[in-house]
């Protein structure tokens, strides 16, 4: 069976003080058994987060370069993240797709860069409100999935985690209903089964989009929702822990 994974995404929020306060709280908190935990913090805090937060919690970055090294001022490579003990990296978050122009080809290149560096990519997929209203949700989400999966070898596919994040639910306070989310998760899993039945069974598919302590349990109870990617609520350790307890 798939272990639930709760992953926080601080985006460009937080501070050294916030890392320290998470470390302090988590040092005397029993983490829920059987739940995988991860926190994606801004680049400058990766090292200190890795050093201070519990080893049971994976630490990850929110993006990476598609290049391995060289004259790319301001970029951060996958091997640099691995060097710091990172295990995961978000790829294709909707904010990267829309604000930084990362198209499917750019997302694929970053997934490949992550895999080359031994990192687990958390591949984010999701439709805009216009696409949902035009009944394009599955076409868009499965298209984003195929743009990556089609180019990977079977053993590479098995390394990924997926996150379904409807763009209209991210940071808006408007959550997909459990039924809406489950419908898309089931469609993703059915598409995965066309690649390989074992892949469909084992792959964790997270839901993201205004998941909070008061709506997490019913989302996480859905058959094909294997965890959450949490933005705003991951900035408050009590909220993050409450979501982890619901998993
Ligand atoms: C996210 O950033 O991936 C996210 C889901 O944000 P929020 O929980 O704030 O909607």
Over residues 164-215, the pLDDT tens digits come to: 999 999 988 888 999 999 999 999 999 999 999 999 999 999 999 999 999 9
**Dist. CA 100–CA 122, nearest whole Å:** 18
The catalytic residue among 93, 102, 127, 185 is: 93
List the end-to-end C-alpha distance of the chain, in Å, as a whole number: 14
Q: What does the H/E/C string look like for 95-138?
A: HHHHHCCCCHHHHHHHHHHHHHCCCEEEEEECCCHHHHHCCCHH
Contacts of 119 (CB under 8 A, 6+ apart): 60, 64, 78, 81, 82, 86, 87, 88, 89
Q: What is the mean pLDDT of residues 223-241?
A: 98
Evaluated on CA atoms 108, 112, 113, 117, the torsion sign reads positive
Beta bridge partners of 163: 124, 206
What is the pLDDT of the chain when averaged over all its residues? Answer: 97
Kindly give the number of the ligand 1 atom that is closest to the alpha carbon of 95: 2
Give the residue whose CA is nearest to atom 7 of ligand 1. 231
Residue listed under structure tokens 């997929």? 125
pLDDT tens digits for range 28-73: 999 999 999 999 999 999 999 999 999 999 999 999 999 999 999 9
Q: Is the pLDDT of residue 140 over 90?
A: yes
CA distances (Å), origin 53, targets 46, 141, 172, 175, 185: 10, 34, 29, 29, 31
Which residues define the annotated binding site? 9-11, 171, 210, 231-232
Beta bridge partners of 122: 90, 161
What is the pLDDT, as a whole number, of residue 137?
Answer: 98
Cβ–Cβ under 8 Å, residues 142 and 103:
no
Measure 190 CA to ligand 1 centroid, in angstroms: 25
Structure tokens at 245: 């307890």
Pocket around ligand 1 at a 6 A CB cut-off: 9, 11, 165, 170-171, 208-211, 229-233
Structure tokens at 65: 């370069």
Q: Is the pLDDT of residue 120 over 90?
A: yes
- 3-class secondary-structure state, position 223: coil
Q: Is the pLDDT of residue 1 over 90?
A: no
Measure 212 CA to ligand 1 centroid, in angstroms: 10
Which residues define the annotated binding site for substrate? 9-11, 171, 210, 231-232
For the chain, which domains are there? 5-246 (3.20.20.70)
- Pocket residue to mutate for ligand 1, from 8, 11, 62, 161, most atoms within 8 A of Cβ: 11
CA-closest candidate to residue 36, choices 63, 58, 59, 53:
58
Is position 165 annotated as part of the catalytic site? yes
Beta bridge partners of 36: 5
Band (77; pLDDT cuts 50, 70, 90): very high
> What's the whole-model pTM score?
0.97
Q: Is the pLDDT of residue 93 over 90?
A: yes
Is position 131 annotated as part of the catalytic site? no
Question: Which element (helix H / strand E) includes 213?
Answer: helix 213-220
What is the pLDDT, as a whole number, of residue 165?
Answer: 98
């Amino acid at each position: 069976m798939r272990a639930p994974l709760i992953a926080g995404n601080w985006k460009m929020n937080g501070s050294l003080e916030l890392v320290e306060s998470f470390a302090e709280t988590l040092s005397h908190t029993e983490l829920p058994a059987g739940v995988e935990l991860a926190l994606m913090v801004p680049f400058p805090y990766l090292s200190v987060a890795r050093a201070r937060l519990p080893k049971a919690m994976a630490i990850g970055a929110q993006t990476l370069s598609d290049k391995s090294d060289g004259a790319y001022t301001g970029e951060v490579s996958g091997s640099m993240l691995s060097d710091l003990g990172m295990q995961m990296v978000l790829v294709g978050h909707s904010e990267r797709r829309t604000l930084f122009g990362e198209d499917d080809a750019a997302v694929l290149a970053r997934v490949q860069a992550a895999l080359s560096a031994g990192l687990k990519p958390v591949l984010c997929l999701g439709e805009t409100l216009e696409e949902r209203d035009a009944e394009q949700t599955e076409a868009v989400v499965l298209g984003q999935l195929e743009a990556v999966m089609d180019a990977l070898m079977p053993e590479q596919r098995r390394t990924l985690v997926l996150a379904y994040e409807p763009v209209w639910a991210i940071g808006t306070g408007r959550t997909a209903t459990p039924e809406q989310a489950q419908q898309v998760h089931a469609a993703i899993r059915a598409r995965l089964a066309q690649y390989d039945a074992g892949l469909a069974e084992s792959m964790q598919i997270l839901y993201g989009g205004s998941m909070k302590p008061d709506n997490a349990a019913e989302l996480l109870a859905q058959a094909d929702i294997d965890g959450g990617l949490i933005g705003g609520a991951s900035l408050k350790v009590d909220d993050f822990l409450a979501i982890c307890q619901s998993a």
